Amino acid sequence: MSAAPNLAPALLELGAATLGEAGGRAMRARVGPAWVGARLAAPAYPVQCTPGDNLAVHVGVTQAPSGSVLVVDVGDERELGYWGEVLTTAAETRGLAGLVIDGCVRDTAALAAHAFPVFSTGVALPGATKNHAGAVGASTVVGGVEVSVGDWIVGDSDGVTVVPGDTLDAVLAAGRARAEKETRFFAELRGGKTTVELLGLDPSPIEGPGR
Q: Sorting pLDDT into bands at 50, 70 and 90, what band is 209? A: confident
CB-based burial label for 133 (10 Å; 0-12, 13-18, 19+): exposed
Q: Supply the pLDDT for residue 208.
A: 84
C-alpha distances in angstroms, 165 versus 19, 22, 162, 195?
13, 14, 9, 34
CA distance 153 to 159: 11
Q: Supply the pLDDT for residue 85.
A: 98
pLDDT tens digits, 146-191: 999 999 999 999 999 999 999 999 999 999 999 999 999 999 999 9
* pLDDT of residue 3 exceeding 80: no
* pLDDT of residue 138 exceeding 70: yes
Residue 135 lies in a domain: yes
Q: Supply the pLDDT for residue 2.
A: 40
Q: Supply the pLDDT for residue 5.
A: 54
Residue 209 lies in a domain: no
Q: Supply the pLDDT for residue 1.
A: 39
pLDDT tens digits, 63-114: 999 999 999 999 999 999 999 999 999 999 999 999 999 999 999 999 999 9
Domain housing 119: 7-171
Q: Tell me the pTM.
A: 0.92
Residue 113 lies in a domain: yes
CATH, residue 68: 3.50.30.40
Residue 110 lies in a domain: yes
User: Domains in the chain: how many in total?
Assistant: 1
- What is the DSSP secondary-structure string of the chain? ----TTHHHHHHHHHHHHHHTTT-EEPPTT-EESSTT--EEEEEEEEEE-TTB-HHHHHHHHHSPTT-EEEEE-TT---SB---HHHHHHHHHTT--EEEESSEE--HHHHHHHT--EEESEE--SBPBS-S-EEESS-EEETTEEE-BTBEEEEETTEEEEE-GGGHHHHHHHHHHHHHHHHHHHHHHHTT--HHHHTT---TT---TT-
Residue 83 lies in a domain: yes
Residue 186 lies in a domain: no
159 CB-side CA count, 13 A: 21
- Of 183, 180, 178, 168, which Cα lies nearest the Cα of 7? 168
Residue type, 147: V
Q: Supply the pLDDT for residue 124.
A: 98
Residue 61 lies in a domain: yes
